[in-house]
Structure 1
Amino acid sequence: MNIDELDLDYRLLRLFLTIYDEGSVTAAANRLGVGQPTVSHGLDRLRQIVGDPLFVRSGRSISPTAHADEIAPQIRVLLQGMRDLTRVVTFDPDNPDHFARFTLGANDYEVAVVLPALMQRLQACKADIRLKILSISGEDHFVSLLRNGKIDHAISIQSAGKHADIAMQALFRERMRCFYDPAFHDGPPDTLDRYCAADHARVIIGANDVSAIDDMLRAAGRSRRTALQVSTFASIPNLIRGTKIIATLPSRLSENMMGGFATCEFPLAFPGYGFAQYWHVRNAANAAHKWLRSEIFRIARGLV
């Protein structure tokens, strides 16, 4: 007879544990609601697959073998895992017995604009919720991190890219504004001539050196002088304060890290753009992850 360990299934494993717990084939049959011959047949099958008697007679009862004692805890864990596959675990943020661990991919713009309100919400919860934030450098990077499980979630610029295994939800729209230290400017750089005559700071995240603003200026037959290039938005305020350098940045930064700087409209019709949250489809039904996504979406709606 060909015996394959893959012949093990839920019913045989449950039968083993029932016999193990009851210490009797008859009692196991009663508990399972089947006839004793069915249990005896299943036990014979288990013995053939495992290659061990599993249970031996001890007076009027049976006793587990050493191998049965060894595998019983493993089978108990395995069966619980199989049961968990058939139900979605609930998550209650106000239950102190519940916990969640999230790793979120974001850059300092999203950290400044979205995450303060999220942290306030997490701190108000009674559940044990912990958040880890990793920086990301573009769509290819955060998609890779989502796929390999290094992050659970990402907030970034809304992309037109389609990935069958990555879900996306739009959050809010953003536009560009010019920021400058008013003490070092006679007036706002709100015309194309004044804008192009100024020194500029720009933020380039990741390995590319592409700027949509420079592309737009080039299309208009103009250019700007970049006096400073950094990889984070948070670097800008300390570096341009007290200088004539201007920075063209997302408008919502005026409410946090760029507070205290004067602002004006960007002198070209720069199109608005969106931000979105992303997650891998394997987390789509996870109760804690669904709750986190709903909280981020609720916060984002307040930014519209």
Structure 2
Amino acid sequence: MNIDELDLDYRLLRLFLTIYDEGSVTAAANRLGVGQPTVSHGLDRLRQIVGDPLFVRSGRGITPTAHADEMAERVRVVLQDLRNLARVDGFAPHDSNQSARFVIGTNDYEVAVILPELVRIVRGCAADIRLKVLPIHGDGDVIDRLRNGQLDLAIGLHMIENVGDIAQQTLFREHMACFYDADYHDVAPDTLDRYCAVPHARVIIGNNDHSAVDDALQAIGRKRKTVLQASTFASIASLIRGTDVIASLPSRLERHVMAGFAKCAFPVEFPEYSFAQAWHVRNAASAPHKWLRGEIFKISRRL
């Protein structure tokens, strides 16, 4: 008969440990809820695989061999490891014995609007939770980095394309507003003519030169004069302060990087847009990841 140590499986190891603990084949069969012949057959198979009798007669009972004594504790560890593999553990952020590491891909709008509250929540937890925040550059970049594990989670504009292995959850909707330094404007640029007459700054993330605002203006036969382009919202705030340059930005920045600027309605028909969090489906059932996504969702509901 060909014997392979890989023939050992969970059932055989559990059977061995039950016989070891009960000190009886009959008692082991009762505990396992099977017939004695089944236990005897399994023990014979174990003896063939291990190459040791494992249990020998001693009076009316049986006693483990030296090799069985050596095996017992190792088998307990193996069985527990197998149980752990089949169990999705919970995550307790207030347990100081737990830890989690997260890499979040996002840009400075989300850094300003969402992440400060997340950091405060994390710092209030007893668990050792650490965050790493990296910039993202469009849907393709997000999808690739979620797939290869460079990112655990991405927060940004809701991706237009539905991708089978990438899950998304809408967080909130946003609309555009105009921000300007009131000391350099006698009237707000809240009409289309005044809006198009003043100099503009815009934020373009990534390597493209495309702007949805310019597309909306072109659609109605108008255009604006862009005198400044930057890759972050925070830099726009620093650069246009003390000038007549205005910026069309997401409205929630009013309380963050654009604090201190005047604000008026965006005078161009422009649809609201959604922000979402995205993750790879391999992390869908992970308890730490579910906790993180849940906290971000709760933060977004309070915005």
Instruction: Give the TM-score normalised by the residue count of structure 1.
Output: 0.82
Aligned to 2:102, what secondary structure does the other structure show?
strand
Q: Distance in 2 between matches of 1:251 and 1:54?
A: 76
Give 2:82's aligned amino acid.
M
Q: Which residue of 1 aligns with 2:96?
A: 96
Mapping for residues 135-284 of structure 1, pairs under 5 Å: 135-284=135-284
Answer whether contact 1:178 1:249 (CA < 8 A) is retained. yes
| Identical columns (%) | 59
Aligned to 1:100, what secondary structure does the other structure show?
strand
Matched, 1:62 2:65: yes
Q: Which residue of 2 aligns with 1:290?
A: 290
CA gap 1:214/1:227 in 2 versus in 1, 3 angstroms: same
Q: Which residue of 1 aligns with 2:87?
A: 87
Unaligned stretches of 5+ residues in structure 1: none
CA gap 1:37/1:234 in 2 versus in 1, 3 angstroms: same
Superposed CA offset, 1:28-69 (max 9, x none): 96897589986776566457667x769799xx863349xx88
Q: Distance in 2 between matches of 1:78 and 1:196?
A: 71
Unaligned stretches of 5+ residues in structure 2: 57-62
CA gap 1:42/1:274 in 2 versus in 1, 3 angstroms: same
Answer whether contact 1:25 1:39 (CA < 8 A) is retained. no
Superposed CA offset, 1:133-156 (max 9, x none): 121112222222222222222211
Aligned to 1:154, what secondary structure does the other structure show?
strand
Q: Which residue of 2 aligns with 1:106?
A: 106
Q: Distance in 2 between matches of 1:129 and 1:27?
A: 50
Superposed CA offset, 1:80-127 (max 9, x none): 332123322122222222322222111111110011111112222222
Give 2:283's aligned amino acid.
N
Answer whether contact 1:202 1:229 (CA < 8 A) is retained. yes
Q: Distance in 2 between matches of 1:129 and 1:269?
A: 43
Q: Distance in 2 between matches of 1:211 and 1:45?
A: 71
CA gap 1:129/1:53 in 2 versus in 1, 3 angstroms: same
Aligned to 2:162, what secondary structure does the other structure show?
coil
Q: What is the CA-CA distance between 1:194 and the residue it aligns to?
A: 2.2
Instruction: Pick which of 101-110 and 5-14 moved more.
Output: 5-14
Q: How much is the aligned-residue C-alpha RMSD, in angstroms? A: 3.3
Answer whether contact 1:15 1:28 (CA < 8 A) is retained. no
